[in-house]
Each structure stands twice: as C-alpha cells, then as structure tokens.
Amino acid sequence: MDVNDLFSPKNTVDSLSAKDLEQTKDYIEIVKAFARITYQSIYVIDYQLKAFEFVSDNPLFLAGLSSKQVVEMGYGFYQKYVPATDFQMLIQINNAGFNFYENIPLEERKLHVISYDFQIQDANKKYILINHKLTPFFLTEKGKIWKAMCIVSLSSNVSSGNVTIEKLHSDLLWELDLLTGKWIARRKINLTEREIEILRYYHRGLTIHETSEKIFISIDTVKFHRRKLFEKLGVSNMNEALTFALNSRLL
C-alpha cells in the first residue's frame, strides 16, 4: 500500500487554467476563521498537489503532532497513524467515492458530502474511532475535484466503515457496501416534529419531567416518543440519539 493509492487516477488534476486559479483568492483565511470560531478540526485537501493545504489545531485528531507537522507529512500521516486494515479501507473508499462522482452531473458535484469512520492513533498511541465528512469546494473546468474540505470529529459508531454520501436537499442517501464495492441508495431517516422537540430539549439539558411540561404531554408520552426515536435511529439512549441526529443533520 502506498499513500498515492489514496488518490484516484480518475481525478488526476494535471494542470490548472486561469479560470481555475481565480477561485482561490484569500479563501483560506475564511477557513481559518471558521476553525477559530467553531473549534472544528478541519483539513483542506489539494488534489493536484496530493497534499494538505491547511490543517487546524485540534490535538485530539493529530496523533500528538502539531498541525504544521501534519501538513508537512501529508497523506503519509494516515499511513503512519492509521492501522493497516483501515488504511486499506480508506483506499477503497477513495476509489468508490471518485467512481460515484464520475457518474453525477458536473453541476451537482459540490452538493454531495461523503462520510466515513476509521481508527487513528491519539497522542497516547491508543486508537480512537473518528469520522470524516468531506465535500469538494473547487472544481477544475473539466469537473475534476481540485480542493475539498474535511471536518473531523469523534465517531458516534462503534466500528470502522459506515460510508455514506448525502446530497444537499435530497431525501436520498447512498451507502457503500464494502464487500461488493457498490453504492446502495435508500431514503434518509425523517424525524417527526415531536421527536425533534424532544431532542432539542434534551440538548438544552431538560429532564423528561421538564420536557413534558414544556410541550404539554405526559411523562409517559415523552418516554414513548423516546423509545420510538431509539428504534428509528438504532441507538440505545438519548445521548446516542442526539449525537446521531447532529452528525446526520436531522436537527
């Protein structure tokens, strides 16, 4: 396995036109400001250079390194700090992702977000499960993905994989079957207004009793809606339900 395997030949960006380059005026300062305000862990990927252009300072996801060191290592960072099985999975996800993008209209490519989970070492050399959400923001005139933004967070799942692609304002979600390499389309989960209310009040720290008073239903009815929510999301408690809903942009 080689780090170059993480870059699909189908998305090789050999040269850039003047129009391509016009996209880049000071945009990185906006990314830096967003990282400062949200304290999100953000990578900006340059597919022409096959490198990181920017990595924000979030020590949890940098294996004990500084953001500058990760930028200098580039994708060798993953080869060193991701277990071999997950690194091989990342190569598979990369190839499947670009195959997917090849088959959608050029004007829709910025509307899609790919999400996946994998293990990486933390500063104590212990493996943690993280989630990547990645979307392109600069395309070449030929429709190749030139630059993309990746937001990193702790995964709410229990194992690696969980590869999905979502399209903005679409009810469809595509899941990657890692055994067959095929994308399977399904409908996104939709929450009822009551389920959204209960999640939002839980997010604000309200108890079941306080929630029942706020929305004028009995405590038993709140518990009923919670159980239905757990079944729908495939979770076992409200903390997991909230994490799932936030990560899946259901709220």
Q: Domain boundary residue among 166, 187, 208? A: 187
What per-residue confidence (pLDDT) applies to 14? 75
Separation between Cα atoms, residue 251 and residue 245, nearest integer Å: 6
Query: What is the pLDDT at residue 49?
Result: 92
Q: What is the pTM of this model?
A: 0.80
Q: How confident is the model at residue 210 (pLDDT cuts 50, 70, 90)?
A: very high
* Enclosing domain of residue 181: 3-187
Are residues 175 and 236 located together in one domain of the fold?
no
Q: Of 96, 102, 101, 120, which Cα lies nearest the Cα of 43? A: 120
Q: What is the 3-class SS of 152-192, one letter each residue?
A: EEECCCCCCEEEEEEECCCCEEEEEECCCCEEEEEECCCCC
The pair of structure tokens assigned to 143 is 């429709």
Last residue of a domain, one of 187, 204, 221: 187
**220 shares a domain with 163:** no
Task: Check: CB of residue 129 under 8 Å from CB of residue 159.
Answer: yes
Using pLDDT thresholds of 50, 70 and 90, give the confidence band for residue 9. confident
Residue 18 has a pLDDT of 83
State the pLDDT at residue 249: 74
Answer yes or no: do 46 and 102 share one domain. Answer: yes
Q: How confident is the model at residue 5 (pLDDT cuts 50, 70, 90)?
A: confident
On the question of pLDDT at 24 being above 80, the answer is no
Q: Which contiguous run of DSSP H or E holds residue 208?
A: helix 208-215
Residues of the chain with pLDDT > 90: what percent?
64
Mean pLDDT lowest among 7-16, 28-37, 103-112, 135-144: 7-16
CB atoms within 10 A of CB 18: 7
Q: How many domains does the chain have?
A: 2
144 and 124 inside one domain:
yes
Tens-place pLDDT, residues 110-140: 999 999 999 999 999 999 999 999 999 999 9
- d(CA 148, CA 81) in angstroms, rounded, equals 22
Winning range, highest mean pLDDT, from 2-11, 21-30, 156-165: 156-165
